[in-house]
Amino acid sequence: MSSFDVVVIGSGPGGYVSAIRCAQLGFNTAIIEKYPTLGGTCLNVGCIPSKALLDSSHHYHDATSHFKEHGIDIAGEIKVNFEQMIARKQGVVDQNVSGIKYLMDKNKITVLEGVGSFEDATHVKVTKNDGSSETIEAKNVIIATGSKPSSLPFIKIDKEKIITSTEALKLKEVPKHLVIIGGGVIGLELGQVYLRLGAQVSVVEYMDRIIPTMDASLSKELTKVLKKQGMKFYTSHKVKSVERNGADVKVEAENKKGETITLDGDYALVSVGRRPFTDGLNADKAGVKLTDRGQVEVNEHLQTNVSTIYAIGDVVRGAMLAHKAEEEGVFVAETIAGQKPHIDYNLVPGVVYTWPEVAAVGKTEEQLKEAGVQYKSGSFPFKALGRSRASMDTDGFVKILADAKTDEVLGVHMIGARTADLIAEAVTAMEFKASAEDISRMSHAHPTYAEAVKEAALAATDNRPLHM
Ligand code: FAD
């Protein structure tokens, strides 16, 4: 029987990063993945393919809506070759997943294809697709089995017309009317892809605003911009039924007053969140406890109730984000090595890759108010920046929240061009406990979108932005 220092179950960003760090630390490491390709949700049916389609559709949108103004005339009709768009997306996925295989080989990590299931706390059976199996021994196990799309109890996902994000990434046609159930990150990103490609897109959201966990000012601005682009929103609406109607779908929802709306579309995308995935893992055979919500229960060291078994990523509590899973993967590897790693969950940024992009880190205004923290706020709109006007990307703003007394930055919320990248400055500043004045006194290259961060910091410090 093969024996390993560490066995990682699941090869998503949590699992594969953890395996690499374990190997770097000198552990004899194996990784088990049930699918033939490595990389998990993120690389195969999540972050990467969605960004590939967002990018392609963005190019199309620019070509049809902005090229003229830039002085670029294209003779003839600009058309979408959707089959090619999907094929390019798959090419990007293939490139990325083969990159993970390369990294496993480079780090001498044993890759085992099959479903990993516990026989007991130190033995994991790997069952291949053809039914054959082998059992391996593990001193330590890291559960990184991720998540799957969740649904509502009365919705039957048929994967044809009533679909999840997985199917939405490989449709054969552009929907005529895509009805999206859930106005969170995944629904909005995929909604914008199809909106740009010509679909009518309607979003039904139970809460009174889209991206409801982010700062309310971001929801408001994103709603405004997406409405301008043609997306329709039904917030404060509870979906009552989602039915097939021949080749079409019918979605019924009820508002707070009890009035019902009916949306007739040809596709319904159910994006109401994701659930932790532990099917087939046989966690009980190892004595590992799950929570009521189906997550693997862990302590602050990401250790389960069995001391040699850890769990990371979407399958444990906290934000379901690839970079959170990666940080946890490194954290656990270093913990097993006897080091004392640290993660500040307050400083894990959240990003929506629509255009304009939305990005945030730290506390929202709503959270600060609820906690009774005295804070000051400084904002700066992108439309006042030379860089934004040069590119005609003038939507959005940067908002910095700082402690009223100490000036320490408590939260940074931004919506606009390239904010997914700009948020890294805010994370760095907050990691080093910067004050708003610290940021405002740093030189920011001109002309860049990053100047909006400096200006917002000036506004938060002393209400003294220079260009407004
Ligand atoms: P996963 O990536 O889910 O990987 C788990 C792996 O474990 C899977 O490959 C699975 O097959 C395998 N597995 C499960 N059980 C077993 C078993 N018993 N034996 C063997 N293998 C098993 N996050 C971001 O940060 N940025 C984004 O832009 C972003 N975009 C997204 C877009 C979409 C459409 C979706 C769906 C998600 C997106 N996410 C994004 C979320 C991100 O994909 C997840 O947070 C991330 O993949 C979680 O990583 P993980 O390692 O915990 O699990």
In this predicted model, what pLDDT tens digit does every residue of 296-329 receive, in sequence order? 999 999 999 999 999 999 999 999 999 999 999 9
Cα 16 to middle of ligand 1, angstroms: 11
- Give residue 149 CA to ligand 1 midpoint distance, Å: 10
Does 237 map to a domain?
Answer: yes
Distance 29 CA to ligand 1 centre (A): 20
Domain closes at, from 327, 343, 359:
343
Q: Examine the pLDDT at 173 and tell me if it is beyond 90.
A: yes
Q: Is residue 467 in some structural domain?
A: no
Q: Please, where are the H alpha helices in 76-121?
A: 82-106
The reply to whether 430 sits in an annotated binding site is no
Residue 239 has pLDDT above 90, yes or no: yes
Distance CA 268, CA 349 (A): 29
Task: State whether 11 and 145 are in the same domain.
Answer: yes
Domain boundary among 292, 309, 343: 343
Identify the three-state secondary structure at position 324. helix
ipTM exceeds 0.85, yes or no: yes
My answer on whether 421 and 365 are in the same domain is: yes
Does residue 321 sit in the same domain as residue 417? no
Clarify whether residues 171 and 255 are in a common domain.
yes
Q: Mean pLDDT of all residues in the chain? A: 97
* Full domain range(s) for residue 200: 162-272
Same domain assignment for residues 421 and 439: yes
Residue with tokens 């629904």: 187
What are the pLDDT digits (tens) for 128-163? 999 999 999 999 999 999 999 999 999 999 999 999
What digits encode the pLDDT tens for the residues 159-168? Answer: 999 999 999 9
Q: Atom 35 of ligand 1 has which residue's CA nearest to it?
A: 46
Nearest atom in ligand 1 to the alpha carbon of residue 149 is: 36
What is the pLDDT averaged over residues 24-35?
98
For the segment 196-208, what is each residue's pLDDT rounded down to a tens digit? 999 999 999 999 9
239 and 330 housed in the same domain: no
User: Is residue 157 a part of any domain in this protein?
Assistant: no
Burial class (CB in 10 A: 0-12, 13-18, 19+), 390: exposed
Assess whether 446 carries a catalytic annotation: yes
78-100 residue pLDDT tens:
999 999 999 999 999 999 999 99
* Model confidence pLDDT, tens digit, residues 250-283: 999 999 999 999 999 999 999 999 999 999 999 9
Do 10 and 138 reside in the same domain of the chain?
Answer: yes
**Structural domain ending residue among the three candidates 308, 343, 378:** 343
Q: Is the pLDDT of residue 10 over 90?
A: yes
Q: What is the CATH number of the domain that holds 228?
A: 3.50.50.60
Same domain, 143 and 283: yes
Rounded to an integer, what distance in angstroms lies between the CA atom of residue 261 and that of residue 222? 23
Q: Establish if 154 belongs to a structural domain.
A: no
Which residues form the pocket of ligand 1, taking CB atoms under 6 Å from any ligand atom? 9-15, 32-35, 40-42, 46-47, 50, 115-116, 144-147, 165, 186, 277, 280-281, 313-315, 320-323, 325, 353
142 and 17 in a single domain? The answer is yes
185 marked among binding-site residues: yes
Substitution candidate for ligand 1 out of 47, 117, 272 with most atoms within 8 A of CB: 47
- C-alpha–C-alpha distance, residues 89 and 305, integer Å: 41
Number of domains in the chain: 3
- Looking at the fold, whether 19 and 96 belong to one and the same domain comes out as yes
Answer whether residue 438 is part of any domain: yes
On whether both 26 and 112 belong to a single domain, the answer is yes
What's the pLDDT band for 75 if we cut at 50, 70, 90?
confident
User: Which tokens belong to 254?
Assistant: 């009820």
Same domain? 257 vs 288: no
Q: Please enumerate in sequence order all residues whose Cβ is within 8 A of that of 407, keeping only pairs 6 or more positions apart, or say none.
A: 435, 436, 437, 460, 461
Q: What is the CATH number of the domain that holds 404?
A: 3.30.390.30
